[in-house]
Amino acid sequence: MRTVLKDIVKGNGLATEVIEAADGIEGVKAYQAHKPDLVTMDVNMPRADGIQALRAIMKIDLVAKVIMVTSIEQKQIVQDAMKIGARDYIVKPFDRSNVGLVINKVLRQR
């Protein structure tokens, strides 16, 4: 899924650089090291799930722009993530045009 999302992001010219992390702990470390403009993060990840990683990122940066990646049946988890600080979400399987719309919308937010 990371590869598909990366291809959509790069293919649509939404980012020049994409940094990947295999799990929530690596994701938080990558956020600390690179302070990216945007994070897309799966709800289900090994070692630290998306909610745990989101909480850690929000402690580092209260205005971090995080988009959760989820399946449609995980509505409650997405609602929890939005309360914690996620800006939006993308549903798997990915709809290329929706991914672009959500990313552009979140990047324009202050």
Q: For residue 105, is pLDDT > 80? A: yes
**C-alpha angle 103-109-74 in degrees, rounded to nearest 5:** 50
Give the separation between CA 77 and CA 80, rounded to whole angstroms. Answer: 5
Rounded to the nearest angstrom, the gap between the alpha carbon of residue 11 and the centroid of all alpha carbons in its chain is 17
Confidence of residue 25 (pLDDT cuts 50, 70, 90): very high
The superfamily in CATH containing domain 2-108 is Response regulator (3.40.50.2300)
- % of the chain residues with pLDDT over 90: 59
Sort 84 into a burial class: Cβ within 10 Å, 0-12 / 13-18 / 19+: middle
Q: What is the dihedral of CA 2, 8, 10, 13, to 10 degrees?
A: -150
Q: What's residue 17's pLDDT?
A: 85
* Domain range annotation of the chain: 2-108
Confidence of residue 32 (pLDDT cuts 50, 70, 90): very high
